[in-house]
Structure 1
Amino acid sequence: MSALDGLEVRRTTTAQQLADGLSERIMAGAFGPGDRLRESAIAAELGVARNTIREAVRILELTGLVRYEVNRGAVVIAPTAEKIEALYTARERLETAALVRTPRPEQLAAITEAFDALCDAATNDPSAIVDRDLAFHQAIVALLDSTRLDEFFASLTQELRFYLTVLAKDETADEVIAEHRAILDAVRLGDRDRAVAEIHAHVEVSVERLKAVLKN
């Protein structure tokens, strides 16, 4: 008798599929910051049980895209300067800690490949730029050689994806590529101080742009 007897491989649940679909709509701007996700209305429109919608919303809450408010229920997050700074500070500290390490050849290759993929998206598939951007920074965090820290950064990416999608509306592909190329060049040269400085600058510019968006 095998230790795996009876183990079933299950496909993604309906709730997860709904969470993924709602996430895509939020990223696309179909739901704006502060908008309510009316579970009964969504359930009726999609012909899905309300409990399933509620489970999907809970999944979104864990990603940071949605939060519950008293007397309002589930609402799409409304960015604030404080939230942006807290999120980007966590990101910056992870990446700067990673960049003081010397990458192994395979790690440098992974960062380079992620940058090339970002450039390819900028030319051929602009809709993929945000995902490729995050993959580049995930490759940097991987320099820490910690699966737990990899997972922690991955847990930040859903919320980061939301903000990067906001930024994508005000950035050109050339600007995105130039900022990431500067980081990669410093890593390739083994210039740790410059690499850290480039990440500081990259994060600072992103935070300031997001704050400017909030004021509009």
Structure 2
Amino acid sequence: MSALDGLEVRRTTTAQQLADGLSERIMAGAFGPGDRLRESAIAAELGVARNTIREAVRILELTGLVRYEVNRGAVVIAPTKENVEALYTARERLETAAAARTPSSKQLDAITTAFDELVKATKTGDTGEIVDKDLVFHQRIVELLDSSRLDEFFAGLTKELRFYLTVLTKEEKPEEVVVEHQVILDAIRSGDRDKAVAEIRNHIDASVQRLEAML
């Protein structure tokens, strides 16, 4: 039995969709830590152009699930409790520090707009769209720190966060996603910085607990 059994690729499938399918199989254990992702073999089995497979693997590299090794090519790095905790600790430090600041009217409008876009995305049922808007919402919060370097640092984290957030979002109902972010927005808009910090910490801690349970 092949690790790729059940993974079907339609003619309209993009490299991103293929990357999503491969990442799900990595999380499910079909590919173990240290396993090579042989591009030519995957392309032949799925009937997809090798260039498309290569692009999908590059996307996985950005999520932190795959790394390239000399003489081996793409190798799977399985998500671990330590990796999740390190990633989400960095995220929590940034977002709670940002939430402790008082936003300008322009910054508050940006956060509110990002939330409204997230609500619209949840109505589509498109996981990828929901994750994109979710990340934008949190990026707008980090922008309260008024540091372009920290904005860039958080943007770098989102490459890896995107994978984990996709896993979590698929397990949630759209209305749950809205409620989780509504309480954060309400706290920021009310000017209650302590509550905003607490709500963000609760949101992130809950995500870590759910991910660790899955791992």
Gaps of 5+ in 1: 1-20
Alignment CA distance shift 1:57-1:123 (3 Å): closer
1:89-128 correspondence to structure 2 within 5 Å:
89-127=89-127, 128=129
Seen in structure 2, the aligned counterparts of structure 1 residues 203 and 30 have a Cα distance that, compared at 3 Å, is: closer
- Contact kept, 8 Å, 1:32 with 1:76, in 2: the verdict is no
Q: Aligned partners of 1:25, 1:72: CA distance in 2, in Å?
A: 21
Q: 1:148 maps to what in 2?
A: 149
TM-score in terms of structure 1 length: 0.78
The number of aligned residues is 193
* Inter-CA distance 124–130: structure 2 relative to 1 (3 Å threshold): same
Shift of 1:56: 7.3
RMSD of equivalent CA atoms: 2.8
Indicate whether 1:177 and 2:178 are aligned. Answer: yes
- Give the deviation of 1:61 after TM superposition: 2.8
Q: Secondary structure at the match of 2:177?
A: helix
Q: Residue 65 of structure 2 contacts residue 79 of structure 2 at CA under 8 Å; is this kept in 1?
A: no
Mean CA deviation greater in 194-203 or 120-129: 120-129
**Larger Rg: 1 or 2?**
1
SS in 2 for 1:102: coil
Q: Which amino acid aligns with 1:89?
A: T
**Cα contact 1:31–1:76 (8 A) shared by 2:** no
The answer as to whether partners of 2:19 and 2:56 remain within 8 angstroms in 1 is no
Q: What's the offset of the Cα at 1:125?
A: 4.1
Q: Deviations over 1:117-168 (max 9, x none)?
A: 1111111343311111101001101111111111111111121110011112
AA of the residue aligned to 2:152: E
2:17 aligns with: 24
Hey, what's the Cα distance between the residues in 2 that align with 1:59 and 1:212?
25
In structure 1, the partner of 2:74 is 74
Report if the CA contact (8 A) 2:16-2:56 is conserved.
no
- Structure-1 separation of matches of 2:78 and 2:165: 14
Q: Which runs of 5+ in 2 are unaligned?
A: 1-13
TM-score (ref. length: structure 2): 0.78
Aligned-pair identity in percent equals 64
Q: Matches of 2:171 and 2:57 in 1, distance apart? A: 29
CA distance in 2, matches of 1:190, 1:170: 32
Structure 1 CA distance for aligned equivalents of residues 174 and 180 of structure 2: 10
Q: Which amino acid aligns with 2:138?
A: H
Match of 2:87 in 1: 87
Aligned partners of 1:76, 1:185: CA distance in 2, in Å?
Answer: 40
Q: Describe the superposition over 1:1-58 as per-residue Cα deviations: whole angstroms up to 9, x where unpaired.
A: xxxxxxxxxxxxxxxxxxxx54432324566226342133356655557xx94x8756
